[in-house]
Amino acid sequence: MGIIEKLRLDNKKAFVTGGARGIGYNIAIALAEAGADVALVDLDEGVAKESAEKIAASTGRRVIALKADAAQKADVDRMIDAILKEFGRIDAAFCNAGICKNIPAEEMTLEEWNQVVTINLTGVFLTAQAAGKVMIKQGGGSIINTASMSAHIVNVPQPQCSYNASKAGVVQLTKSLAVEWALKNVRVNSISPGYIGTDLILNAPALKPLIEKWNAMAPLKRLGKPEELQAIAVYLAGDSSAFTTGSDFVIDGAFTCI
């Protein structure tokens, strides 16, 4: 079997949290194009349904939309049950849901801190834990968590200590789960994107001055594109990455090198 065939995800079953838009949506497209059936999980059920229909129409794969809050255990449990009812198994779980708040540390309330950490870190744990239980029972699977280059650097000029701390937690959580589940054939890796030009970022007028500053600092002098994260996600979701676990893939155009 050649490398292209090994990268195929034919008959694999996957889900993507935060899958209605942006990075999650582009990852879902890639998984479906590689042959997987995919569940798009998002709080915005309407957009998730529209996105699922688009991906299904363009790829011919089975793509469903589910509403769930990844930071609420009851929602995650219902999500997993619904996916198993539709697909019968879970081969790849992309734990991607997250938020960011740019608030100076001295002004941040405990509520604001908890919201970011709960969604970005606790939500990843709950989702990975639920998927991991299924994968252990079925004999294996791959979990991919969205961390960030912010796990490795302090972003400037925006103040985002809660985001940075939560994403650093995701990287260490990923490594911990990878070691715990290594002999159970459940692989756990993370992807740490740099600044990615999703529609929400590009269409936000308030972010334009920040984008100009980020691009001025960036070695490539531009934002990343959501589709530039697709290849690594397909690789990690499939059998060709069988020896890859506990790794964090920084895809940032060398931003963290400066």
* Residues with catalytic function: 148, 163, 167
CA distance 184 to 136: 6
To which H or E segment does residue 195 belong? none
Running DSSP on this structure, what letter comes out for residue 246?
S
Q: Are the C-beta atoms of residues 93 and 14 closer than 8 Å to each other?
A: yes
**Which residues are CB-neighbours of 184 under 8 A, at least 6 positions away?**
135, 136, 140
Report strand pairing: 13-17 vs 248-251: unpaired
CA distance 93 to 137: 15
**Which residues are CB-neighbours of 188 under 8 A, at least 6 positions away?**
128, 132, 142, 143, 144, 145, 174, 175, 177, 178, 181, 245, 246
**Chain-centre distance for alpha carbon 148:** 10
Q: Is 182 helix (H, G, I), strand (E, B) or coil?
A: helix
